[in-house]
A and B are shown apart, each in its own frame.
Chain A
């Protein structure tokens, strides 16, 4: 009952808003916000229902069936919460917009589509929802009907999504041909007893490929940073909710990876490349929204990488945390841009004076001691956090990699403190270590509890971790290589800061050419553009020569 109500409430809201909201902003927002709040309450009730009665599938017909389980209820709650926040924010942000009612109606329709996707009980309905997300995103991003610019990147987004939907369709076809059912619950059961085969490996690869397009993974990441022309609430919804769909899809098809490895390895490598590329490109941006866009690309890379390591539940936790964090940033960016419009100069406040105008004090702490703290303290914290939840660290490569990343992040933060050269360095250092401990312990403990909630069967989780493992020799070489890159990077930065020069003269040419290639995003957008132009040129010539035929 609540399942039906939850999935229908936003659709009903969209219709009522469109029919009765026109001509009055107040009426529009009251209807839409009211329904959005109801949806949020219903999703909480649904979670309680799941906790009390366990998973089940509600079948209305061959196509229309909804699934209630740990993943669907969690995702429904996340989607409803983010949707409500975006609705509440848009209430004032979109004021005086000529398409106010259309915007809210589309926002409701998008919420409905995402809810249908996460609650889908069969593969066809899941595919319908998955595809509709891309279609509705097109209309939300190109909300400003008078602007030709807004439509350009909305079209790019649509095309990447349409392309990315195809692997999911292939996976659905293969699953149906192999198991003869579209029902997700039945399929999950059957997949647990299936032998490892070429077909299942292929299905795994297809699922992660589809996740790559929705979650803006390299080389399909180009749509995300360019879609900043749309209204800020849409950016918030997109970065906090829609891009996370990749992580959801991999989790929804988790039983496929019970007997498939290739997809996991692919997810790891593509996620890693995307995380590095996204973070690098983020640092190169001068536009706050574009920088946030690349930051999302980097975060999504990290989330997909977590899936590739077998840490499926952690990826869901990551997407929730990132969603809340990024929605806040986007909604805040509107205010920053508004302030910047009033005064285009950088405000010369205390933050500006601290970073730009001050002279670095001499550090009393010897650098050897500081480097020891940098390397050892985060490692100890990360190890303790993992041991607290009883993770057998040396058994799973996935846990080791996550530990490695946690360690590097912590070390990087402490290293930044050293470079910052604060006056009261011990106090700052202590604060940073304390904050880092809270974050790591929180991340590991909540992530672990989340795993117990989403995947109560520990043998299932262990099997996925095992499947994510690669040849130990190759794994060790990878870790050594990554460590070497990170440590060399630190030496490079240290050397540069000691010499008061960002790049040594002999590396300047290399640095500049790397900067140039990266600032053009490795020419991927140019490549796609050229390809599109070639196809359209063919169409133009064919239509001219065969005009009537």
Chain B
């Protein structure tokens, strides 16, 4: 392996994070939470730029399995995240490391990268709202948002579902396309991944939205302006899913 190739592989393994380099990304995303939305867009975009200027190099097969297993590791971790912030970081890493399947079997384009980053941008905005309003997005702390903050709940439910691979979002079609690109064992891992994504999302949703309100908190819902802004972003994410599929087909 030439030094040049090794450097490109390492850099791509950082920007399309795979284990163990994903630990660096995970640390940065958790530590610098104020610029997390920017980082959610920056990492895969830089990866894409690097991939394009290096003329779409071919990768050794172990990278595919590293990508799949990294994705599995973070999907498993997202089952017990502690907070919405951590869940979005783990889930982001789980989704983006799966891009290696595309890098080896197809190609990565701007539509794919943009539509994968967008749901996390929305999640960051909603996470920020929780932190600003309640001081934390910890799951043991926040309960009963479903009936105390209906606007916020509607948006968080919609964006979580879209990011976890529910129809008609991009992640759903991303998963579908990945399945078509996979061999038998890869498909088995992908299936388990998809199951875990759904499981962790619904666990997170049930923690946040259901149950009695926390008596120590003063609940306040999203204002109308923010609601319509985030709703528009969510609808664009949904629309991108259909466009993505039509382009792939």
Which residues between 132 and 183 of chain A lie within 8 Å of chain B, taking CB atoms? 132, 135, 138-139, 142, 145-148, 150-151, 154-155, 158-159, 162-163, 166, 169-170, 173, 176
CB pair B147 A98 closer than 8 Å: yes
Chain A residues positioned under 8 Å from B212 (CB to CB): 146
Asked if residues A162 and B198 are in contact (CB atoms below 8 Å), the reply is yes
**A151–B249 touching, CB < 8 Å:** no
- Taking a contact as CB atoms closer than 8 A, the residue among A145, A166, A538 that contacts B191 in the complex is A166
Is B79 within 8 A of A61, CB to CB? no
With a cutoff of 8 Å between Cβ atoms, the chain A residues found around residue B245 in the complex are 62-63, 124
Min distance, Cβ A52 to any Cβ of chain B, angstroms: 32
* Interchain CA distance A176-B80 in the complex, whole Å: 37
Chain B nearest CB: distance from A133 CB in Å? 11
Which of A371-379, A453-461, A540-548 participates in binding chain B?
Answer: A540-548
Residues of B near A1 (CB, < 8 A) are none
Collect the chain B residues with CB atoms within 8 Å of residue A63's CB: 242, 245-246, 249
Contacts of A138 in B (CB 8 A): 202
Q: A-side binding surface: helix, strand, loop or mixed? A: helix
CB closest chain-B residue, reference A142: B210
| Interface assignment of A422: CB less than 8 Å from any CB of chain B | no
Which B residues are CB-close (under 8 A) to A154?
206
Q: In the bound complex, do residue A539 and residue B202 qualify as a contact, i.e. CB atoms below 8 Å apart? A: no
A548, B30: Cβ atoms under 8 Å?
yes
How distant is the Cα of A151 from the Cα of B207 in the complex, in angstroms?
10
- Bound-state Cα–Cα, A23 to B31, Å: 43
Q: Is the CB of B202 within 8 A of A176?
A: no
Q: Which residue of A lies closest to B191 (CB)?
A: A166
Cβ distance B198 to chain A, nearest Cβ, rounded Å = 5
Segment 86-111 of B: residues with Cβ below 8 Å from A: 86
Residues of chain B lying within 8 A (CB to CB) of residue A127? 176
Name B174-210 residues within 8 Å CB distance of A. Answer: 176, 179-180, 187, 191, 194-195, 198-199, 202-203, 206, 209-210
CB proximity of B32 to chain A, nearest CB, Å: 12
Query: A536 vs B77: C-alpha distance in the bound complex, in angstroms?
Result: 9
Q: Judging by beta carbons under 8 Å apart, are B210 and A539 in contact?
A: no
The count of chain B contact residues (Cβ–Cβ below 8 Å) is: 43
Indicate whether B119 reaches chain A with its CB closer than 8 angstroms: no
Please name the residue on chain A nearest to B89 by beta carbon. Answer: A548
Binding stretch for chain A, among B40-48, B160-168, B220-228: B160-168
- Provide the residues of chain B in CB contact with A535, threshold 8 Å: 76, 79
Contact of B80 with A158 in the complex, beta carbons under 8 Å: no
A543 partner residues in chain B, CB cutoff 8 A = 77, 80-82, 86
Cβ–Cβ < 8 Å partners of B194 in chain A:
162, 166
The reply to whether A176 and B77 form a contact with Cβ atoms under 8 Å apart is no
With A145-B209, A151-B210: A539-B179 Cβ-Cβ less than 8 Å: no
Cα A170 to Cα B166 in complex, Å, equals 17
- A131 and B206 contacting across the interface, CB-CB below 8 Å: no
In the bound complex, how far is the Cα of B246 from the Cα of A124, in angstroms?
A: 12
Partner of A536, one of B79, B161, B202, B242: B79
Chain A nearest CB from B35 CB (Å) reads 16
Q: Report the minimum CB–CB distance from B99 to chain A (whole Å).
A: 20
Q: What are the 3 A-B residue pairs with the smallest beta carbon separation, nearest first?
A: A539-B79, A549-B23, A145-B146
9 pairs, A vs B, C-beta closer than 8 Å: A135-B166, A139-B157, A145-B209, A146-B144, A158-B202, A170-B191, A173-B180, A173-B187, A543-B81
Besides A63-B246, A146-B210, A166-B195, 8 new A-B residue pairs in contact (Cβ under 8 A), listed by A number: A63-B242, A145-B146, A145-B209, A146-B144, A154-B206, A169-B191, A173-B180, A539-B76
